[in-house]
Structures are given as structure tokens and as C-alpha cells.
């Protein structure tokens, strides 16, 4: 990306997510900005992709810069795919990680081990002021524990064990988690497409 403008606005004020995406995208030469005065964009879409695009479109329009956004969450098979797009506000108040996690555990308390399957899903979108846009998805499958384990990560990380691992994503180092996470997969897939959008606005 040498010679290209790398100014990209990240449509979130979530500090956990800002740090995570900076780790993932910095190796691609992409420097993220996340101004504190960005408007809140209502997540009214029915899918992760719709919500990611809603946020990225609004922020690109407001800032005049290429904007990226994601919508991600936990999809629990025993709950028919919920909490899904409602993951961040599953217990009723947006961003209450402890309450959201506790509610999911209570809802699947009687579900046997073999049916405690779930996935983290992320849709990552990039939108240029011209209207050009791209959206990609990342997914990691796993199972849910009966009690939280680990102090890293955020959200539902303390109860999610990816397939092929014995650790929860809250027990992994940031680098280990990024290598297999839904957001890591989505934003690594988005990075080369983002280069195209940045080149188009030069």
C-alpha cells in the first residue's frame, strides 16, 4: 500500500474492538482513526452484514473518508442462532458483557455437552465516500462452557472454546486469538479489498 492514502475511519467507539482491529490491520499498512465525536448509528439490520454496511455508509458520508465497520456476535445452535445480531444487548442494555454472558449460560443450562455448539460470526464492511463498498464475513466454530474461564478478550470470549482448542478465547494471547478469530478472518479478507477502495479515492 506504499503511496496510498491509508486514512481509514473505524466506525466504533468500543476500545476493545479498536485495539483488536489495529493489531489485525496495522501489518497491512492501514492506520485507523476513531474520532470520539462519531455519530451513533442504529443497528436496525436483520443480519451482521446489513448492520456493518449501515454503520460504514453513515460514517463515510459524515467524514468524507473510507470507513470500515463490523457487526459481530455469538450464534448459538441451541438458541436457534440467537443472540446473533442482538449479542451486544442480549440482556437488555447495550455493552453489558457480564449480563449478556450470564443470560446465555442460563438459557442453555440444561443443554447437554454435545449440543452446546456455537460460532462467532463477523461481517466487516468498507465504504468509500463515492459509494463503492465491500463486505466480507469471518466465522469460527466452537463450543460453550458452563462457566467462564480466562480474563482476556471481551464479550462471550470466557465461555467460547474454538474447535481444535482446549482454551477459551479469553485464555488466549491477543495474537493467538487474532489468528483464528472471526474478526481476524474477516478483516484479513477485507484488507486487500480495502486497498482497492483507498486507491480509488486517491
State the Cα–Cα distance between residues 138 and 123, nearest whole angstrom: 7
Cell of 202: 486517491
- Which residue reads 471481551 in cell numbers? 154
State the Cα–Cα distance between residues 179 and 172, nearest whole angstrom: 10
Closest CA to 32 of 19, 43, 42: 19
In angstroms, what CA-CA distances link 128 with 9, 59, 175, 194? 10, 10, 29, 9
Whether the Cβ atoms of residue 1 and residue 28 lie closer than 8 Å to each other? yes
- DSSP states of 6-67 as a string? -EEEE----HHHHHHHHHHHGGGTPEEE--TTPPP-----SSHHHHHHHHHHHHHHHHSSEE
Active-site hit among 70, 71, 157, 178: 71
Cell of 116: 452446546
Whether the Cβ atoms of residue 175 and residue 26 lie closer than 8 Å to each other? no
Active site residue 141: no
Q: Which residues are catalytic?
A: 71
Amino acid at each position: 500500500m506504499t503511496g496510498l492514502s491509508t486514512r481509514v475511519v473505524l466506525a466504533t467507539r468500543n476500545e476493545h474492538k479498536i485495539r483488536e482491529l489495529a493489531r489485525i490491520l496495522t501489518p497491512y499498512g492501514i492506520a485507523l482513526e476513531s474520532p470520539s465525536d462519531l455519530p451513533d448509528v442504529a443497528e436496525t439490520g436483520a443480519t451482521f452484514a446489513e448492520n456493518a454496511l449501515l454503520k460504514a455508509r453513515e460514517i463515510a458520508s459524515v467524514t468524507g473518508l473510507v470507513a470500515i465497520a463490523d457487526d459481530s456476535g455469538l450464534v448459538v445452535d441451541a438458541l436457534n442462532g440467537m443472540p446473533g445480531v442482538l449479542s451486544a444487548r442480549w440482556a437488555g442494555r447495550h455493552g453489558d458483557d457480564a449480563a449478556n454472558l450470564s443470560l446465555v449460560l442460563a438459557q442453555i443450562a440444561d443443554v447437554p455437552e454435545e449440543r452446546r455448539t456455537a460460532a462467532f460470526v463477523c461481517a466487516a464492511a468498507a465504504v468509500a465516500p463515492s459509494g463503492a463498498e465491500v463486505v466480507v464475513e469471518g466465522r469460527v466454530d466452537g463450543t460453550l462452557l458452563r462457566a467462564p474461564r480466562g480474563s482476556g478478550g471481551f464479550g462471550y470470549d470466557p465461555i467460547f472454546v474454538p474447535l481444535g482448542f482446549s482454551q477459551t478465547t479469553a485464555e488466549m494471547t491477543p495474537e493467538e486469538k487474532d489468528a483464528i478469530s472471526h474478526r481476524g478472518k474477516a478483516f484479513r479478507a477485507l484488507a486487500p479489498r480495502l486497498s482497492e477502495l483507498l486507491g480509488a479515492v486517491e
